[in-house]
């Protein structure tokens, strides 16, 4: 059985995330979407809420589960006997960042391999940061987030703004 871990902050989950999860669910026998702490980003939505939302949108995929981890990805991978990290790439600058992360993770855990999947070109402009910025100006986030979560995400983000 071939499995992978799709780590991220998912703050909030976007249609871009959903697209990668959907595609990964067809490529791997098991996908674990793991909500992680990103020290470079201040969280806007509580972790438990992010997990609940991810579980709702991932319910359509029986081979996808949701987890959380508040430590190093290399440690998570080791602890869970996982070897493949899935990362979506929107462009060259993101690839450079991801290659640095891959190198650091490999130094910490030599069993880790990273699979890079280019994002759907229609979703290239979608990011959690963009969603937060649009919400801060009371803009319409529905084109960027899963339909069933749009109102909840807007409500959660409006409390932080």
Reported as a single tens digit per residue, the pLDDT across 31-85 is 999 999 877 777 899 999 999 999 999 999 999 999 999 999 999 999 999 999 9
Nearest to 133 by CA among 144, 149, 121, 123: 144
Nearest to 87 by CA among 50, 118, 109: 118
What pLDDT does residue 158 have? 79
What pLDDT does residue 156 have? 87
Instruction: Give the phi and the psi of residue 30 in degrees, each rounded to 5.
Output: -145, 135
Q: Ramachandran region of residue 4, left (φ > 0), alpha (ψ -120 to 50) or beta?
A: beta
Tell me the whole-structure pTM to 2 decimals: 0.91
pLDDT at residue 153 is higher than 70:
yes
Question: How is the beta sheet containing 3-8 ordered, strand by strand?
Answer: 64-69, 30-36, 3-8, 84-89, 113-118
Which residues neighbour 160 within 8 Å (Cβ) at sequence distance 6 or greater? 44, 45
Which residues neighbour 38 within 8 Å (Cβ) at sequence distance 6 or greater? 8, 9, 11
pLDDT band at 96 (very low <50, low <70, confident <90, very high): confident
Q: How far apart are CA 141 and CA 132, in angstroms?
A: 9
pLDDT band at 160 (very low <50, low <70, confident <90, very high): low
**Domains in the chain, CATH or no CATH each:** 3-123 (3.40.50.620)
């Amino acid at each position: 059985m071939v499995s992978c871990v799709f780590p991220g902050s998912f703050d909030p989950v976007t249609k871009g995330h959903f697209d990668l999860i959907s595609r990964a669910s067809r490529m791997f026998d098991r996908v674990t979407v793991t909500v992680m702490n990103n020290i470079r980003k201040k969280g806007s939505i509580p972790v438990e809420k992010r997990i609940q939302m991810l579980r709702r949108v991932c319910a359509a995929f029986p081979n996808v589960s949701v987890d959380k981890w508040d430590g190093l990805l290399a440690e998570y991978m080791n602890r869970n006997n996982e070897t493949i990290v899935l990362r979506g790439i929107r462009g060259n600058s993101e690839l450079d960042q991801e290659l640095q992360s891959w190198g650091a993770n490999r130094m910490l855990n030599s069993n880790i391999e990273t699979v890079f999947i280019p994002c759907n070109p229609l979703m290239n402009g979608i990011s959690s940061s963009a969603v937060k910025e649009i919400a801060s100006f009371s803009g319409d986030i529905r084109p960027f987030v899963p339909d069933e979560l749009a109102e909840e995400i807007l409500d959660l983000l409006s409390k932080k703004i």
